[in-house]
Amino acid sequence: MQTIDWSIVVAYFIINFGIALYYYKKSSGNTENFFLSGRKMTWWLAGLSMVATTFAADTPLAVTELVGKNGIAGNWLWWNMMIGGMLTVFFLRGCGAEQYPYRCRVY
């Protein structure tokens, strides 16, 4: 790797560490505020976070396996799971994301 490559990697880690420090100080030392945003997150942001967690590093591998085993029709299983996750966001929005899962009784 060249010097420019190493500087990009170092800059990436410095930026991520800076973001982590910012939110660590903002959480005022309380782990509940750090991990749950003080239970003040809007319903759509909590739902977007929930759906985004399904897009992990292994997702392309899983989709490739589904299509490899079932053909292009296997991709519909993935799309149905994604659409179901997005619909879950709207069904749970009346529960109040700031109290989720305690107010909805979903444990």
Given this model, what pLDDT does residue 64 score?
A: 87
Q: Which domain holds residue 55?
A: 41-107
Same domain, 50 and 65: yes
Q: Mark whether 25 and 69 lie in a shared domain.
A: no
Indicate if 15 and 66 belong to the same structural domain.
no
Residues 3 and 22 in one domain: yes
Number of domains within the chain: 2
* Span 50-64, average pLDDT: 78
Residue 107 has a pLDDT of 44
Per-residue pLDDT tens over the stretch 5-34: 999 999 999 999 999 888 777 766 677 776
User: Are 58 and 17 in the same domain?
Assistant: no
**pTM of the predicted protein model:** 0.45
Q: Name the phi and psi angles at 79, rounded to 5.
A: -65, -40
- Regarding whether 45 and 34 lie in a shared domain, the answer is no
Residues with Cβ within 8 Å of 77's Cβ and at least 6 positions away in sequence, in order, are 66, 70
Write the DSSP string, 46-97: HHHHHHHTTS-TTHHHHHHHHHHHHGGGGHHHHHHHHHHHHHHHHHHGGG-T
